[in-house]
C-alpha cells in the first residue's frame, strides 16, 4: 500500500515524529543461540471494535456488512435520533467513533443545498431560507470532514459520498481537506449498480463521486455508464407503495450492488492492514543506537515508503518518549 502525502503534511510529521520507540516485548533481548541478532516478527492486530460504521445514514451498509461476515458498528442519522446541527450530538458521535475505532466510516452528508437543482431555483425562494440552508449545509459538511480526518489521522479509513457535480467539492473546507490528505477520488454512475425508479423501473444515472482513503474503492466501484440503456430523469415524483414521493429522494437509496462493492473494498483494505507482517528490532531504549535500529527495521521490511513505514510503526505501538534524550532522531532521517 502506498500512502500519498502532501509536502504540508510531511513537514508536519517531520516536526512531530522525533522518536520511534517500540513497545517493550516480553521476549528477552540479545542474540539467539546461533549468535544472530534477535528480531521479533509480529502480525499487526490493531484490535478495533468494528469493521464499518456509517454517518448521515440509516442502517443500509451495516446490516449487509453483518451478512457478509464483517462486524458492523453504529449508524448515525437524523432518522434514528442524531441531529448533527446540534453541537452536543456532533461531540457525542465523535466520542463514540474514538472509543469504538471502526476500521472504516462511510459519511454522506445531505447534498440538497449543494445540488444543481437547488441552484436553479434559489432565485425563486425566500433569501433568508436559502441563507439558513447554506449555513446548515456548511456545518454538516465540516462535521463530515471532521469524521474523515479523525479516521485518517489515526490510521483508519473513511469514504465520503456526494453527487459528482455538487458544489460541495469546490468549498474551501473541502479543497483544504483534499490538499492535506490527498485521498483517492472515485467516480461512478449508479445506473451501473442498478439504481432504478421504483415504479417505472427506469435506471437513474446519478453521477456520484467518492472520496476515500481505501485503495480498493476504484476496483469495485469505479464504473461509468456503458450507454447500453436509457435513463429515467431524477425529476418530479414517482409512486412508492401508493404514496407519491420525490424521485430525488428515491435516488438517495444505495442499490444493493453498490453496497456490496463498498464492503468488498472495506474487507480487502481491512485484511491488508491487519496482516502487515514486519520485524521490529528489540530496542534498549537508549538514544545512541535508536537511529541505527530504525534503519535496520526499515531494511528488514523491504524499504517501504516513509508514509507506509510510519503507519506500520504507529499501528505496532510505536510512540514518542523522552524526546530530550533523542534530539535529531526522526523517521524521516532514513
CATH of the domain at 146: 3.40.50
Which pLDDT tens digit goes with each residue over 81-132? 999 999 999 999 999 999 999 999 999 999 989 988 787 778 888 999 999 9
Q: Specify the pairing of strand 207-212 against strand 157-163.
A: antiparallel
- Which helix (H) or strand (E) is 28 found in, with range? none
Task: Answer yes or no: do 91 and 123 share one domain.
Answer: yes
**CA gap 102, 143 in Å, rounded:** 17
Question: Does the residue 72 lie in any domain?
Answer: yes
**CA gap 171, 195 in Å, rounded:** 28
Q: Number of C-alpha atoms within 13 angstroms, CB side, residue 63?
A: 5
**CA gap 188, 205 in Å, rounded:** 9
The separation between the first and the last C-alpha atoms of the chain, rounded to the nearest angstrom, is 19
Of all residues in the chain, the percent with pLDDT exceeding 90 is: 62
The answer to whether the pTM exceeds 0.75 is: no
Task: Answer yes or no: do 266 and 288 share one domain.
Answer: no
Task: Answer yes or no: do 134 and 177 share one domain.
Answer: yes
Give the model's pLDDT for residue 305. Answer: 66
Question: Does the residue 3 lie in any domain?
Answer: no
**Which residues span the domain enclosing 81?**
52-190+205-217+257-273
Task: Answer yes or no: do 40 and 92 share one domain.
Answer: no
Task: Answer yes or no: do 213 and 328 share one domain.
Answer: no
**Please, what sign has the CA dihedral across residues 295, 300, 303, 306?**
negative
Task: Answer yes or no: do 321 and 267 share one domain.
Answer: no
Task: Answer yes or no: do 102 and 161 share one domain.
Answer: yes
Torsion of CA 276, 282, 286, 290, to 10 degrees: -40
102 contacts 148 by C-beta, under 8 angstroms: no
Q: Where are the alpha helices (DSSP H) in 41-196?
A: 62-67, 87-100, 116-121, 127-153, 172-181
Which pLDDT tens digit goes with each residue over 245-304? 999 999 999 999 999 999 999 999 999 987 653 433 344 444 455 666 666 666 666 666
Q: Mean pLDDT over all residues of the chain? A: 80
Cell numbers 523522552 correspond to 322
Q: How many CB atoms lie within 10 A of CB 190?
A: 24
Question: Does the residue 226 lie in any domain?
Answer: no
- Tally the domains of the chain: 2
Task: Answer yes or no: do 93 and 23 share one domain.
Answer: no
Task: Answer yes or no: do 125 and 263 share one domain.
Answer: yes
Task: Answer yes or no: do 60 and 40 share one domain.
Answer: no
- Give the mean model confidence (pLDDT) for residues 307-315: 65
**CA gap 300, 249 in Å, rounded:** 53
Q: Number of C-alpha atoms within 13 angstroms, CB side, residue 135?
A: 7
Task: Answer yes or no: do 79 and 212 share one domain.
Answer: yes
Strands (E), the chain: 39-43, 52-55, 72-76, 104-107, 157-163, 184-189, 207-212, 237-240, 243-246, 277-281
255 contacts 15 by C-beta, under 8 angstroms: no
Of all residues in the chain, the percent with pLDDT exceeding 70 is: 68
Question: Does the residue 133 lie in any domain?
Answer: yes
Task: Answer yes or no: do 73 and 111 share one domain.
Answer: yes
Amino acid at each position: 500500500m502506498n500512502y500519498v502525502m502532501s509536502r504540508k503534511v510531511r513537514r508536519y510529521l517531520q516536526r512531530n515524529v522525533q522518536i520511534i520507540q517500540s513497545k517493550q516485548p516480553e521476549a528477552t533481548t540479545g542474540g539467539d543461540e546461533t549468535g544472530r541478532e534477535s528480531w521479533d516478527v509480529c502480525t499487526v492486530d490493531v484490535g478495533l471494535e468494528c469493521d464499518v460504521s456509517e454517518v448521515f445514514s440509516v442502517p443500509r451498509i451495516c446490516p449487509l456488512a453483518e451478512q457478509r461476515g464483517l462486524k458492523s458498528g453504529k449508524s448515525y442519522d437524523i432518522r434514528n435520533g442524531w441531529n448533527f446541527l446540534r453541537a452536543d450530538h456532533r461531540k457525542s458521535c465523535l466520542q463514540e467513533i474514538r472509543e469504538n475505532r471502526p476500521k472504516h466510516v462511510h459519511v454522506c452528508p445531505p447534498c440538497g443545498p449543494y445540488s444543481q437543482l437547488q441552484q436553479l431555483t434559489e432565485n425563486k425562494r425566500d433569501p433568508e431560507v436559502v441563507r439558513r440552508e447554506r449555513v446548515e449545509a456548511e456545518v454538516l459538511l465540516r462535521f463530515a470532514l471532521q469524521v474523515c480526518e479523525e479516521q485518517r489521522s489515526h490510521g483508519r479509513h473513511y469514504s465520503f459520498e456526494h453527487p459528482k457535480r455538487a458544489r460541495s467539492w469546490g468549498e474551501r473546507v473541502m479543497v483544504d481537506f483534499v490538499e492535506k490528505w490527498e485521498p483517492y477520488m472515485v467516480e461512478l454512475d449508479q445506473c451501473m449498480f442498478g439504481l432504478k425508479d421504483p415504479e417505472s423501473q427506469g435506471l437513474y444515472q446519478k453521477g456520484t463521486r467518492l472520496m476515500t482513503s481505501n485503495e480498493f474503492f476504484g476496483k469495485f466501484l469505479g464504473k461509468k455508464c456503458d450507454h447500453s440503456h436509457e435513463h429515467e430523469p431524477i425529476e418530479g415524483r414517482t409512486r412508492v407503495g401508493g404514496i407519491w414521493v420525490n424521485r430525488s429522494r428515491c435516488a438517495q437509496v444505495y442499490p444493493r450492488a453498490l453496497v456490496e462493492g463498498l464492503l468488498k473494498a472495506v474487507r480487502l483494505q481491512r485484511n491488508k492492514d491487519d496482516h502487515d507482517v514486519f520485524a521490529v528490532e528489540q530496542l534498549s531504549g537508549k538514544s545512541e543506537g535508536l537511529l541505527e535500529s530504525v534503519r535496520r527495521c526499515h531494511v528488514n521490511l523491504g524499504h517501504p515508503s516513509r508514509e507506509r513505514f510510519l503507519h506500520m510503526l504507529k499501528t505496532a505501538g510505536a510512540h514518542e518518549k523522552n524526546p530530550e534524550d533523542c534530539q535529531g532522531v526522526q523517521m524521516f532521517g532514513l
